Structure 1
């Protein structure tokens, strides 16, 4: 019988799961995995920081629907990736992290990069284990997939010691698991569906809040059927943006303050796979007399911060399939028209006092120019504080995972890795990263990854020369004379892009924006358009969040 190394068994197990790309930063503990990837045809995308490798793997999950995989070396390799794991955990994104470590035979002997890695990752993963025996690697990979993808998804961690990976075993010793995870979708109790349908039938101003649970459930078609039958308007939010296209007549998209206002007018809210966390003021917006039907695949989420009037445990798509025929047909509602008109009015109000030709450049002018140049079919990744808010309310979400932001952890630096993952996953689409100048600096060296791996994304830096959201918060709390630790100056990220082999341009005046964007798009290279924006303009949500105590 032939012998197989631990690295070969690991890669074969990944290959059986359909893995095509492995994200990593090279480390000696992982040599057998890399070597096996060459033979298996798995593409290795190497980054400049392990955090970026983890973010790219999460991004792969977002943009393909298949779990992304990253491999990080021991010790500092794993600690560098902790932020990415935590981000996936808070966003409920599936992610497999393979961690190298020193040999088992060197335990407690002070070997290179040897720390208790499992203790670090257990609080921020759904499942974390060490595989101690080479022949059991396929079993542990199967366990990792089962835990990551069962119920509410999330990150998992599998640690593979160096001697386990380098060792060889006879194929006859290896057991390849089969049918090791279910594809069944938990459905709701019929009585609860009937109660939910009755409440929706009585409602005068019902509204759907569709969150990231709709994305992971693959509920886009089911949500469209439900909304068109019932005429109930839909707000897609966070990771759920685009599960109903923004251009759909029943989609409510626009300024965030306008959306919050419309939400406060609803009398029944159907919350689908969305959390009542700080982004919804911990449920305070949905206090009685508003009635809430909450649907989630994670039962412990039902009642989090705001007890539902009807709590439904189940897969979002399965619940919608069961609920839709129970709700009376009412495809044309005055309320849906009124809600859309209210948002259109909010959009007009948001533009009052806005002069597109003002100097310094207004961030709204910048994001509107980006939208016009990139178009409705682009993938937009927004990373930062104020600039992320400007982009996320202006960019169109016409498909699931078309407008992606930092997520509930508020983790800056995800933007460039997410954008690179998007271009890898969907190379035929234009990928735009809108980034703040502060956040771009966190993982800016991944521009080198873009160049080396020929991933021509368009990066637009809204450069207000500061950590703008923090600066504006300090100004509101203490006054402008007490601002500290926020000023960054006019950093030339465009020159960094050029130095790394990409296309870079600096924009200082509004009339320069569109020509620079068009040149960047035509370059065929990873491009950075560095736009100096007005440093005095906080987004309205920044003011609201500061005054509400959210920030």
Structure 2
């Protein structure tokens, strides 16, 4: 329960460390990664919350290679919602399109992901993956999967090394990936149609309240659209509202939606909303 801790000195709490950006020293790893990317016709990017600070470069990377991007609960908005390469959230509570891409891809590029259950179904979401390329600053997370080409260090610095090489990929090599992109596009459309059916569900009679009530997806959609219209930040608590929430939001950029990312922390949303009052740059927030 909440309790006032009188001797607490906020200045004595650990500060967020500031590390200088580091690059991959082994150029052989960069060459191996680019060779895998050029030779794969069924590749995906799995973008975790750690990729959000590098959204522009991840977008360039995806577009240069023509690669679908599967999001995590903490990375909605990394690509605009309607971007053709945005396959939406994949994982244990993922979308039709995100899980399709995960299940059928053969090369996986992980960027800034911890690979928890909500991100990759505890590792079993990639049924056909034969090779992995992992960009991360955390050495424990970067070595999560077997058969991994490890690119440790600052994600932005690593992408800055990869992009000049990948932007030179000939057009005929990109055409080899078009069939895969078409399959992912159809799955994205299927997901969009599925959501719309749920949003269009009419209110259902509730025996306890003795009146019609909106279904949870329809109600979340209304509030999420309102938040988008007024540029409000959305905070989702743990549970079914959260699982529906990060599937429903249609973010255009990172940091429009926050969840506790799989820690099952009940009370995250109201705590985050209250803590925003202490922010140097507060933003209107709505908790779900």
Contact persistence 2:224–2:234 (CA under 8 A)? no
Secondary structure of 1:252's match?
strand
Aligned-residue Cα RMSD (Å) equals 2.8
Secondary structure of 1:286's match?
coil
Secondary structure of 1:365's match?
helix
Q: Tell me, which stretches of 5 or more residues in structure 1 are unaligned?
A: 1-23, 34-70, 72-95, 99-143, 151-181, 435-551
Secondary structure of 1:388's match?
helix
Contact persistence 1:252–1:339 (CA under 8 A)? yes
Structure 1: distance between partners of 2:75 and 2:272? 16
Q: 1:425 Cα shift?
A: 5.3
Structure 2: distance between partners of 1:188 and 1:418? 39
Structure 2: distance between partners of 1:320 and 1:348? 34
Structure 2: distance between partners of 1:213 and 1:386? 24
Q: 1:205 Cα shift?
A: 1.7
- Find the counterpart in structure 2 of residue 149 from structure 1: 17
Contact persistence 1:208–1:272 (CA under 8 A)? yes
How does 1:174-185 map onto structure 2 within 5 Å?
A: 182-185=19-22
Match of 2:219 among 352, 362, 366: 366
1:412 matched to 2:253: no
1:282 matched to 2:282: no
Relative distance call for 1:196 and 1:357 in structure 2 (3 A) is same
TM-score (norm 2): 0.80
Match of 2:191 among 346, 349, 355: 346
Contact persistence 2:233–2:255 (CA under 8 A)? yes
Match of 2:6 among 28, 35, 54: 28
Q: 1:25 Cα shift?
A: 7.0
Greater length-normalized contact order (CA 8 Å, ≥ 6 residues apart): 2
- Find the counterpart in structure 2 of residue 355 from structure 1: 201
Relative distance call for 1:97 and 1:293 in structure 2 (3 A) is farther
- Find the counterpart in structure 2 of residue 229 from structure 1: 64
1:28-60 deviation digits (Å, cap 9, x = unpaired):
324xx5xxxxxxxxxxxxxxxxxxxxxxxxxxx
Secondary structure of 1:397's match?
coil
Structure 1: distance between partners of 2:87 and 2:275? 28
Aligned length: 266
Structure 1: distance between partners of 2:285 and 2:21? 34
Contact persistence 2:88–2:95 (CA under 8 A)? no
TM-score (norm 1): 0.44
Contact persistence 1:271–1:292 (CA under 8 A)? yes
Relative distance call for 1:290 and 1:430 in structure 2 (3 A) is farther
Relative distance call for 1:28 and 1:425 in structure 2 (3 A) is closer
How does 1:163-242 map onto structure 2 within 5 Å?
A: 182-187=19-24, 189-215=26-52, 218-242=53-77
Secondary structure of 2:247's match?
helix
Q: Tell me, which stretches of 5 or more residues in structure 2 are unaligned?
A: 206-212
Q: Which moved more, 1:386-395 or 1:415-424?
A: 415-424
Match of 1:294 among 131, 134, 155: 134
Secondary structure of 2:77's match?
coil
Q: 1:388 Cα shift?
A: 0.9
Structure 1: distance between partners of 2:170 and 2:236? 37
- Find the counterpart in structure 1 of residue 102 from structure 2: 263
1:76-116 deviation digits (Å, cap 9, x = unpaired):
xxxxxxxxxxxxxxxxxxxx872xxxxxxxxxxxxxxxxxx
Structure 1: distance between partners of 2:170 and 2:274? 43
